[in-house]
Structure 1
Amino acid sequence: MITDIHVNKPMPFFSEEPLISFSRASNVTLTIKALEAGKPVLITAFYSDGLDLLKALHQHLKKQFPNQTFKEQRAYRLAYQKLSKLIYIDIVDYKLIVKKAPSIGWLAKLYPEHNNFLLPFTKVQGLNSAWQWYTNGISLPVLRSKIHPYYGVYFPTRFDHLILFDNWLNRYNGPKKSAIDVGIGSGVLALQLVKFGLQKVFGTDTNPNAIVGLTEAMGDTKLSRKIELDFASLFGKWEKQTELIVFNPPWLPATHNLDKIDEAISYNDSLFPDFFEGAKQRLLPEGKLVLIFSNLAQITKVTETHPIEQELANGGRFRLEQCLKRSVKSASEKTKRNQNWRATEEVELWILVHA
Structure 2
Amino acid sequence: MTARWHSETNAPPPGRVVLADDRLRADTAHRLVSQGAAVLWQGDYHGARQLLAALARRAEREERPPRTADSTTPGEAFREQRRERARTAGLLGRLVVRLEADHALLLPRAPDVRQACREAYGPSDGPRLVALRELLGVLGAWQWHQRGVYVPALGARVHPCYGVFSPVRGEYVDLVARAPMPAAVLAGGTVFDLGTGTGVLAAVLARRGAGRVLVTDVNPRALLCARDNARRLGLAHRIRAAGTDLYPPGDGRAGLVVCNPPWLPAEPTSVLEQGVYDSGGRMLHGFLGGLAQRLARGGEGWLILSDLAEHLGLRSRADLHAAFAAAGLRVVGRRDIRPRHPRATGATRRTGVRSIDPLRAARAAEVTSLWRLAPV
Question: Which bracket does the TM-score occupy, shorter chain normalised?
Answer: 0.7 to 0.9
CA distance in 2, matches of 1:327, 1:149: 24
Amino acid at match of 1:323: R
CA distance in 2, matches of 1:146, 1:51: 30
TM-score, normalising length from structure 2? Answer: 0.82
Find 1:175's aligned residue among 171, 176, 184.
184
Q: Describe the superposition over 1:166-198 as per-residue Cα deviations: whole angstroms up to 9, x where unpaired.
A: 121xx4352221110001110011011011111
CA distance in 2, matches of 1:11, 1:77: 13
Change (3 A) 1:305 1:259: farther
> Shift of residue 17 of structure 1?
9.8
> Shift of residue 157 of structure 1?
1.6
1:175 alignment partner, SS class? helix
> Shift of residue 334 of structure 1?
2.9
Change (3 A) 1:316 1:282: closer
Amino acid at match of 2:116: W
Amino acid at match of 1:117: R
CA distance in 2, matches of 1:16, 1:82: 11
The equivalent of 1:5 in structure 2 is none
CA distance in 2, matches of 1:241, 1:144: 30
Find 1:283's aligned residue among 295, 306, 310.
295
2:313 alignment partner, SS class? coil
> Shift of residue 149 of structure 1?
1.5
Amino acid at match of 2:226: L
CA distance in 1, matches of 2:215, 2:139: 28
Find 2:93's aligned residue among 70, 85, 90.
85
The equivalent of 2:73 in structure 1 is none
Q: How does 1:152-231 map onto structure 2 within 5 Å?
A: 152-168=163-179, 171-172=180-181, 174-176=183-185, 177-219=189-231, 223-231=235-243
CA distance in 2, matches of 1:118, 1:259: 18
The equivalent of 2:70 in structure 1 is none
Is residue 107 of structure 1 aligned with residue 122 of structure 2? no
The equivalent of 2:55 in structure 1 is 57
Number of residue pairs matched by the alignment: 343
CA distance in 1, matches of 2:288, 2:144: 34
2:157 alignment partner, SS class? coil
- The gaps in structure 2 that reach 5 residues or longer are 1-5, 67-76
1:95 alignment partner, SS class? coil
- Identity value in percent: 24
Is residue 348 of structure 1 aligned with residue 374 of structure 2? no
CA distance in 1, matches of 2:224, 2:255: 27
Question: Would you say the 8 A contact 1:242–1:283 is kept in 2?
Answer: yes
Q: How does 1:56-75 map onto structure 2 within 5 Å?
A: 56-68=54-66, 69-75=77-83
Find 2:285's aligned residue among 255, 267, 273.
273
CA distance in 1, matches of 2:315, 2:302: 23
Amino acid at match of 1:28: A
Find 2:141's aligned residue among 130, 134, 147.
130
Amino acid at match of 1:310: A
Change (3 A) 1:172 1:220: closer
1:224 alignment partner, SS class? coil
Amino acid at match of 1:26: L
Give the aligned CA root-mean-square deviation in angstroms: 2.8
Point out the more displaced range, 333-342 or 289-298: 333-342
The equivalent of 2:69 in structure 1 is none
- The gaps in structure 1 that reach 5 residues or longer are 1-7
> Shift of residue 268 of structure 1?
2.3
Is residue 334 of structure 1 aligned with residue 349 of structure 2? yes
Question: Would you say the 8 A contact 2:10–2:270 is kept in 1?
Answer: no
> Shift of residue 26 of structure 1?
1.1
CA distance in 2, matches of 1:11, 1:265: 15
Change (3 A) 1:230 1:291: same
1:223 alignment partner, SS class? coil
CA distance in 2, matches of 1:172, 1:12: 41
Find 2:106's aligned residue among 84, 97, 100.
97
Question: Would you say the 8 A contact 2:203–2:230 is kept in 1?
Answer: no
Question: Would you say the 8 A contact 1:183–1:203 is kept in 2?
Answer: yes
1:66 alignment partner, SS class? coil
CA distance in 1, matches of 2:229, 2:170: 22
Change (3 A) 1:151 1:163: same
Question: Would you say the 8 A contact 1:136–1:148 is kept in 2?
Answer: yes
The equivalent of 1:27 in structure 2 is 25
1:214 alignment partner, SS class? helix
> Shift of residue 315 of structure 1?
0.9
Point out the more displaced range, 133-142 or 328-337: 328-337
> Shift of residue 34 of structure 1?
1.2
Is residue 321 of structure 1 aligned with residue 332 of structure 2? yes
